[in-house]
Amino acid sequence: MTDSLLSRKAALRILEQTARQGKSLEDVFEREAQALDSRDKAFIRMLTSTTFRRLGQIDNLLSSLLKKPLPSRAQKAQDILRLGITQLLFMETPSHAAVSTSVELARQTGEDFYVPLINALLRELTRRGESLLKMQDAVLLNTPSFLWNSWVKSYGQDKARAIAAANMTEPAVDISVKENPAYWAKQLNGELLPTGSVRLAPNSYIPELPGFQEGAWWVQDAAAALAVRLMGTVKGLKVADLCSAPGGKTVGLLNAGALVDAYDISAKRLQRVQENLKRLNLSATLIAKNANEIEGKEIYDKILIDAPCSATGTLRRHPDIIVHRTAQDIERLQIAQENLLKTAHRLVKKNGIVVYCTCSLQQEEGEDVIDKCAFLFDRVPITDSLLHPYLTIYGDIRTFPMDGTDGFFMAKLKKKGD
């Protein structure tokens, strides 16, 4: 079997497990692509990510070309077509390679019955694909209606369209460095951002870059790094990082000199945090526990809550969210977010600072949650001049994907007296 077919076979398995079985694209990719070389890994990542980013358009094209919908038993054939269309219309794969490998992939995976259909549809798209794409509204097709309606309500139609358009693009890779970001920007041919993060080119293969194995820096979106900046001075203070995995904010707090208790409900996810801390030669107390079950009162000087959320602000980076999230998820998560704020109020010392953040664009998980907990906390005015471009009318932080970062909400809060 050729390398090109091996990589596409892996992409098919990734698509099937992610779209059909509800598994995480990131987790499935790590498992299915681990035996391949870096070039094939990069191709598979781009192929599967682009397929999810453009899934609405792809399925719309299939519907328009098929005389009748594919039967349920043809899910594998449908996914082969999806991957073929991605290569034909959204990547720079030569048309003959996209068609021939898709046909051979169908044969190799027992879909011989659908080989003529796959061949015919992809060849037709080779001829007509570009003209059909021009007739589509890509923004609406690739955005679930419940997200679109929410963004229009919160930000207006123009901004909602800009958000959705940005979600179809490949994100850059941002890193936070232990010290001397200007040096590492030069070393890695990156861009030093005003807030101190360094931006690298998309699809950089992280483990092979200078400084990674030595623990000089860690991967963290530039917007995510703002949460630690909002915490203010933490050197020598006892700080809790609730829901700490994957650990970027824990690392930032440690690098700023905090004494950190890092909580996460998942012991497996904390293991990844531990691996990163070891590489970076940093140490925190890692506790696998539901944060709401922490005993005691007024234990911490400051608390960072990276609350579980719909993660709609990371759609560029995690496009499988498109098929995993529902409006009901957001309602459920709101309750968890409010509970975490109530827990933080109990655990933080008198007049202590709590920074609440979510990687969500939904106001229901941001401003609305803070409003519901106004009896516990006062908003703290943000005076950092570098953060002013991100301030909302309420004095919170909001970042958006069309500005080059993940979409985050952050609020700096001060505990009210009992």
Mean pLDDT of the chain: 94
The neighbour count for residue 259, using CB atoms within 10 Å, is 17
pLDDT digits (tens, 9 = 90+) for 294-326: 999 999 999 999 999 999 999 999 999 999 999
Q: What is the pLDDT of residue 92?
A: 86
| CA separation, residue 160 to residues 49, 354, 362, 386, 403 (Å) | 21, 30, 11, 25, 13
Q: What is the pLDDT of residue 35?
A: 84
Please check the confidence at residue 268 and state whether its pLDDT lies above 80: yes
Rounded CA gap, 113 and 408, in Å? 47
- pLDDT of 22 > 70? The answer is yes
Helix, strand, coil distribution of the chain in percent, nearest 5: 55, 15, 35
Mean pLDDT of 141-154: 96
Edge-first strand order for the sheet with 217-219 is: 191-192, 198-200, 173-177, 217-219
pLDDT(339) > 90: yes
- The whole-number pLDDT of residue 2 equals 66
pTM here is 0.93
- Chain centroid to CA 96: how far? 33
Q: What is the DSSP string of 277-331?
A: HHHHT---EEEES-GGG---SS-EEEEEEE-----GGGTTT-TTHHHH--HHHHH
Q: Is the pLDDT of residue 1 over 80?
A: no
188 three-class SS: coil
Phi and psi dihedrals of 187, rounded to 5? -60, -35
Cβ pair 305, 340 in contact under 8 A: yes
